[in-house]
């Protein structure tokens, strides 16, 4: 082969096959390990800690608390989410159709009260980004968060609960959330933090 090539004198060919093999191997690896989590509608800057426990991969219910005290709810698992929405619908007398359940399953964190959730789910994705989410009501009189937590736990028994609070959020909101958790007999939960920067 080499002899023949030499005669032609054209550009030397490099066998790229191993490189391509490697490239595709890496592509496959990253494709399988990537998890696309939708960005939170509200940016949350978590406090730092020295804790080194990692958050579990699945069965996590995240309650986010934004800087201005809005409470957002998130749970993983698409099937569980759709089921949860139906359960919540029965409690609050809101009928959700299949399409709405599907778009709820694909949502990330959301802070929409039950009253306007149906309307929110009917919007398309671009429209939703423009809506400012008021947060889930947590007052003692009208505590939707408590229902979300209870129903989520009934839907997925292995659920772990994590609070993702912004470092500057006010303590009373955090206290209300923790109180709601304890009322619902969740005594063990996680606080999501960042790695402490070496100082």
Partner 1 sequence: MAEISQGGGDGGKKGGKIRSKKTSTRIDMTPMVDLAFLLLTFFVMTTTLQKPETMEITMPEKDDKEPPKVNERHVLTLIMGPSDKIYWYIGITDPEVKVTNFSKEGIRKLLLTKKVEIPKLIVLIKSMDESRYKNMVDILDEMNINSVQRYAIVDITKTDKDLIKESRL
Point out which residues bind partner 1 (CB under 8 A). 1, 3-4, 11, 13-17, 19-20, 23-24, 26-27, 30-31, 33-36, 46-55, 65, 162, 165-172, 174-175, 178, 181-183, 185, 187-196
Quick one: 30 or 157, whose CB is closer to partner 1? 30
Phi/psi class of residue 43: alpha, beta or left (left: φ > 0; alpha: ψ in -120 to 50)? beta
DSSP code at position 110: B
| Shortest Å, Cβ 17 to partner 1 | 7
Alpha-carbon distances of 163 from 136, 138, 158, 194, rounded to whole Å: 14, 14, 17, 13
Residue 178 contacts by C-beta under 8 Å, 6 or more apart in sequence? 163
Q: Which residue lies nearer to partner 1 by CB, 27 or 125?
A: 27
Q: Which is nearer to partner 1, 102 or 160 (CB)?
A: 160
Residue 190 beta carbon to partner 1: minimum distance, rounded to whole angstroms: 4
């Amino acid at each position: 082969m080499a002899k023949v090539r030499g005669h032609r004198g054209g550009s030397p060919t490099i066998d790229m096959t191993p490189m391509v093999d490697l490239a595709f191997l890496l592509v496959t690896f990253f494709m399988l390990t990537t998890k696309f989590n939708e960005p939170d509608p509200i940016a949350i800057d978590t406090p730092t800690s020295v804790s080194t426990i990692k958050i579990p991969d699945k069965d996590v219910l995240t309650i986010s608390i934004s800087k201005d005290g809005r409470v957002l709810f998130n749970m993983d698992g698409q099937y569980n989410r759709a089921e949860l929405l139906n359960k919540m619908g029965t409690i609050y007398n809101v009928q959700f159709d299949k399409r709405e359940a599907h778009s709820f399953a694909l949502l990330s964190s959301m802070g929409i009260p039950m009253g306007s959730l149906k309307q929110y789910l009917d919007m398309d994705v671009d429209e939703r980004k423009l809506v400012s989410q008021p947060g889930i009501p947590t007052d003692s009189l009208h505590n939707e968060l408590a229902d979300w937590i209870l129903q989520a736990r009934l839907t997925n028994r292995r659920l772990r609960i994590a609070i993702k609070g912004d470092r500057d959020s006010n303590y009373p909101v955090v206290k209300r959330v923790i109180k709601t958790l304890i009322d619902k007999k969740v005594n063990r939960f996680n606080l999501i933090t960042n790695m402490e920067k070496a100082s």
